[in-house]
């Protein structure tokens, strides 16, 4: 028999009754039932209930065993009594009667529980992540992550993509975040950068003629953490294709991602035909460029109903500024639900104030009429027109925001999200996927200067003619995002493979030709020697797995994440370098007090 096991802890069934078996694993929990000791033995594959009675020669040793000790047991498989069968466990029809026990490793008192899923302080969970990963849900999430990545690989290979590795030590590149720099010992005073993305390399592969590239790529960005973005590193399904239009990229990748979600959906519906929503439409309709389409609420423009009305708070703004608009966020009640009344509307108004807004005006409808201060001020006719435009009925309500849309659209989107959740109209039993298309090529930065709004390597619509002759802020790009349930899960574009167009695009942001040639020399040189039209995308693996697992935080699907302060509490990173290391790298520290 094998030194440690003849079976795993998830393998034994009723067909194995009568066999002598050997199992090894962690003691999940110990239960004393009047002389009989029960052990739930756990390994990567499952749980098996083990039993020992005082007649067993191993009973004295068994009495010493505690949770999370690692043991080997030999014993006989027996059928459980019908009343003791556990239908929730694959091994629930049997138990193993222990004849021999060997303690392989003793566990000290645990700093956190492993059995069950209690809420526990995150710093403890991350410091003892190896224990946290024993917990059933987190362990299953990590296993599912590996299966998702394996499925991605199979699907990409099946449609003719080859997986190519790109360098980890590279040059700094403007991907929109800070680089992690790596000092060079051989070249004192010079630094490599960890790649924010394999962007330039995958484009160079297209210039080299590889046609269809993909990679499960690690990416590194020195960004502040948040729930849907881990600090430091993340992984993406990176891909690039030659001789394609953006429509071909969409038509290639939408079936891949749809079938991936379907494989792991556990009965949830998955969008088959992804809608393609222009960026400007998404902002006006959903208040976001990553709309959650499970929420049926759509924002409408209702400025005309307030212009010249008795509601001076809005009417005055409309009169004094032609760019002011009023947007309506309707709340249509679910059938059979309680009507939306004043108390609900006042809670929404208080929420808006808590978000730093002056308030959230509203009208609610009952007995065929609109109620609330706004309805009183604009009158019955205008109130009825709003009701008709939005298709509202008794029991429904509508909320309003006013100002220049570029200043309030995000808040309108947040109100839409909160309303959809609070009135229970969000369909949580689906993965709602879409493409957001036609992004602006440029935007104004914090200093009111022209900067790239998205990927700087994208092709502007209209090409160099648009760059030479149009208002930069009016130019659209062949850029697109994939969105699922309110999360951006991919970003991509058709690339700018023409050297003069590339130079002109950067010149409008203030870079000179010499700077472009210096900072993007590899790509710029490559484009001089025959570059095919090409495009691609990068799908965020971490976010996709988070959605599939039904989690709200990326740390719940990542094996060894950092904390919110970008620290690895388990390994103690980042940590100081020794004086000898710094000397070897020709580095002298000048740390400023914060």
**61, 37 contact by CB (below 8 A):** no
Which pair of tokens denotes residue 109?
A: 């008192």
Which CATH number does the domain 127-266+485-492+532-586 belong to among 3.40.50.720, 3.40.190.10, 1.10.10.10, 3.30.930.10?
A: 3.30.930.10
In degrees, rounded to 5, the angle at the alpha carbon of residue 537 between the alpha carbons of residues 149 and 216 is 25
- Give the per-residue pLDDT at 594: 67
Q: What's the whole-model pTM score?
A: 0.93
Q: Which CATH architecture has domain 14-105?
A: Beta Barrel (2.40)
Question: Mind listing the pLDDT tens digit for each residue in 400-415?
Answer: 999 999 999 999 999 9
Question: Mind listing the pLDDT tens digit for each residue in 130-145?
Answer: 999 999 999 999 999 9
pLDDT at 335 over 80: no
CA distance 399 to 328: 6
Question: Which residues lie closer than 8 Å to 441 by C-beta, 6 or more apart?
Answer: 452, 453, 454, 458, 460, 461, 472, 475, 476, 477, 479, 505
CA 285, distance to chain mean position in Å, is 23
Question: Mind listing the pLDDT tens digit for each residue in 155-191?
Answer: 999 999 999 999 999 988 765 678 999 999 999 999 9
CA distance 485 to 269: 12
- Give the per-residue pLDDT at 522: 87
End-to-end CA distance of the chain: 62
State how far the alpha carbon of 394 is from the alpha carbons of 254, 299, 339, 411, 423, in Å.
40, 19, 8, 26, 15
Average pLDDT over residues 405-427: 96
pLDDT at 51 over 70: yes
Give me the percent of the chain exceeding a pLDDT of 90.
Answer: 89
- Give the per-residue pLDDT at 227: 63
Number of H helices, E strands in the chain: 17, 24
Average pLDDT over residues 393-398: 96
Q: What are the extents of the domains in the chain?
A: 14-105, 127-266+485-492+532-586, 295-426
CA distance 198 to 455: 13
Question: Mind listing the pLDDT tens digit for each residue in 449-484?
Answer: 999 998 899 999 999 999 999 999 999 999 999 999
pLDDT at 39 over 80: yes
Average pLDDT over residues 563-571: 92
What is the 3-state composition of the chain as percent helix, strand, coil, each rounded to the nearest 5?
A: 30, 25, 40
- Give the per-residue pLDDT at 172: 82
Question: Mind listing the pLDDT tens digit for each residue in 242-286?
Answer: 999 999 999 999 999 999 999 999 999 999 999 999 999 999 999
In a 3-state reduction of DSSP, which class is residue 45? coil
* More reliable by pLDDT, 519 or 546: 546
Top-level class of domain 295-426: alpha beta
Residue 98, beta-bridge partner list: 75
What residue ranges in 387-432 does DSSP mark as E strands?
397-403, 430-431
- Give the per-residue pLDDT at 174: 61
Question: Mind listing the pLDDT tens digit for each residue in 289-328?
Answer: 999 999 999 999 999 999 999 999 999 999 999 999 999 9
In a 3-state reduction of DSSP, which class is residue 434? strand
- Give the per-residue pLDDT at 593: 78
CA distance 482 to 252: 13
- Give the per-residue pLDDT at 231: 84
pLDDT at 240 over 90: yes
- Give the per-residue pLDDT at 337: 80
pLDDT at 241 over 90: yes
Average pLDDT over residues 213-235: 87
| 471 burial type by CB count under 10 A (0-12 exposed, 13-18 middle, 19+ buried) | exposed
- Give the per-residue pLDDT at 175: 57
Average pLDDT over residues 185-204: 95
- Give the per-residue pLDDT at 21: 98
Mean per-residue pLDDT over the chain, rounded? 94
Per-residue pLDDT band for 118 (boundaries 50, 70, 90) equals: confident
């Amino acid at each position: 028999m094998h030194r440690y096991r003849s079976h795993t802890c998830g393998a034994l069934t009723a067909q194995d009754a009568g066999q002598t078996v050997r199992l090894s694993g962690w003691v999940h929990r110990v239960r004393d039932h009047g002389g009989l000791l029960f052990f739930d033995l756990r390994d990567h594959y499952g749980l098996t209930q083990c039993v020992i009675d005082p007649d067993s020669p191993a009973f004295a040793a068994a009495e010493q065993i505690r949770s999370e000790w690692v043991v080997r047991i030999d014993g006989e498989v027996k059928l459980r009594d019908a009343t003791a069968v556990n239908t929730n466990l694959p091994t629930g029809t049997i138990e193993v009667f222990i004849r021999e026990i060997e303690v392989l490793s003793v566990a000290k008192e645990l700093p956190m529980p492993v059995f069950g899923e209690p809420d526990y302080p995150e710093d403890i969970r991350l410091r003892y992540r190896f224990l946290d990963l024993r917990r059933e849900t987190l362990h299953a999430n990590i296993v599912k992550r590996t299966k998702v990545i394996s499925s991605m690989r199979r699907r990409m290979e099946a449609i003719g993509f080859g997986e190519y590795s790109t360098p980890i030590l590279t040059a700094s590149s403007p991907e929109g975040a800070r680089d992690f720099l790596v000092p060079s010992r051989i070249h004192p005073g010079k630094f490599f950068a960890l790649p924010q993305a394999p962007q330039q390399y995958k484009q160079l592969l297209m210039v080299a003629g590889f046609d269809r590239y993909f990679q499960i790529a690690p990416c590194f960005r020195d960004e502040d953490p948040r729930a849907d973005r881990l600090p430091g590193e993340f992984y993406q399904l990176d891909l690039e294709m030659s001789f394609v239009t953006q429509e071909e990229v969409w038509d290639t990748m939408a079936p891949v991602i749809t079938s991936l979600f379907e494989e792991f959906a556990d009965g949830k519906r998955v969008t088959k035909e992804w809608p393609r929503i222009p960026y400007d439409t998404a902002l006006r309709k959903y208040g976001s460029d990553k709309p959650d389409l499970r929420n049926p609420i759509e924002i409408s423009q209702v400025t005309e109903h307030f212009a010249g009305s008795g509601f001076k708070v809005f009417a005055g703004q409309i009169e004094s500024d032609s760019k002011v608009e009023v947007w309506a966020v309707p709340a249509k009640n679910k059938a059979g639900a309680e009507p939306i009344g004043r108390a609900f509307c006042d809670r929404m108004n208080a929420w808006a104030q808590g978000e730093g807004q002056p308030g959230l005006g509203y009208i609610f409808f009952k007995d065929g009429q609109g109620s609330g201060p706004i309805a009183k001020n604009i009158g019955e006719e205008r109130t009825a027109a709003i009701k008709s435009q939005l298709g509202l009925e008794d029991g429904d309500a509508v909320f309003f925001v006013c100002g220049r849309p570029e200043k309030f659209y995000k808040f309108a989107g947040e109100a839409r999200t909160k309303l959809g959740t609070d009135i229970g109209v969000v369909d949580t039993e689906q993965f709602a996927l879409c493409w957001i298309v036609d992004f602006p090529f440029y935007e104004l930065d914090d200093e009111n200067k022209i900067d790239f709004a998205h990927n700087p390597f994208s092709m502007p619509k209209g090409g160099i003619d648009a760059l030479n002759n149009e208002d930069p802020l009016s130019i659209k790009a062949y850029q697109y995002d994939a969105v699922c349930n309110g999360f951006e899960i991919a970003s991509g574009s058709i690339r700018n493979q023409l050297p003069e167009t590339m130079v002109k695009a950067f010149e409008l942001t203030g870079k000179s030709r010499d700077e472009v040639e210096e900072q993007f020399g590899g790509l710029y040189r490559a484009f001089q020697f025959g570059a095919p039209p090409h495009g691609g995308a990068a799908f965020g693996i971490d976010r996709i797995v988070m959605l599939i697992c039904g989690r709200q935080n990326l740390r719940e699907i990542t094996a060894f994440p950092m904390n919110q302060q970008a620290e690895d509490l388990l390994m103690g990173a980042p940590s100081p370098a020794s004086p000898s290391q710094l000397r070897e790298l020709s580095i002298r520290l000048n740390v400023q007090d914060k």
